[in-house]
Structure 1
Amino acid sequence: MNDDLKKRLSPIQYEVTQRNGTEPPFQNEYWNNKQEGIYVDIISGEPLFSSIDKYDSGCGWPSFTKPLGDDLIVEKADVSHFMIRTEVRSKKSDSHLGHVFNDGPPPTNLRYCINSASLNFIAKEKLVEEGYGEYLELFK
């Protein structure tokens, strides 16, 4: 599977999802995306986050107050880089997504700081066409 992923993903997507890397802030695909839609795991296609829960945290990466469901992600302690953080991984593909911090806005006070390279964005207008029609209800 690793060779397949190396062929399928860009170098930064592979580095982020498979090697726990981080893309540069403010220089990634979705940090400033304002379109309505959902963000899915680039490996499995599993829906993870919604634009409804996205906000501008000023950190340079897409930030969300919550995932679409608590059963979609796994949180793990991360003590790398001389810090104590909580890593966020996709439950289905076990891909590194980013980190969650407790400095977000109400009501959750959480900031899911997620690498664009770990995500695909499905615009609201394409949800049915791309097989995610059940999420269209979120935007009504």
Structure 2
Amino acid sequence: MTEEIGVIGVIEKVAWIRLEDGGLLAARSHGRELFYLPGGKPEPGETHPEALAREIAEELGVTLDRATVRPLLTVEAPAHGKPAGTLVRTSCYTADHTGTPAPCGEIAELAHLTHGDHPRASATTRTVLDHLAASGRLLRW
């Protein structure tokens, strides 16, 4: 339990922020409607860069250069499909990579979202889209 009123739990995640042609790389899992930031939950004992590199390799088939992993921002948003009051705290990182991102495993589709893609994005992804648009790093529409 956290001490915040109304919060019943916090899920910790890491995500890769990859901007290309004015859009934010996002993924959609099989059987889901919304796009989310590529990444996932760290396993016990994993550092954020280790978890990020593992998740991105599993989801997108690319290798992150761990020496270039840099924190960008941390966002909190309601957890989709979880009990009310559950939050997702996502630590977002940038990193160089080798390979071309492609859907792997649980991923059905990739997209480059702009600020106008809010309706297609998870709550966490919408928050990141807002941040990137406000800083001028993302196309607004």
TM over 0.5: no
TM-score by length of 1: 0.29
Q: Which has the higher contact order (CA 8 A, sep 6+)?
A: 2
TM-score by length of 2: 0.29
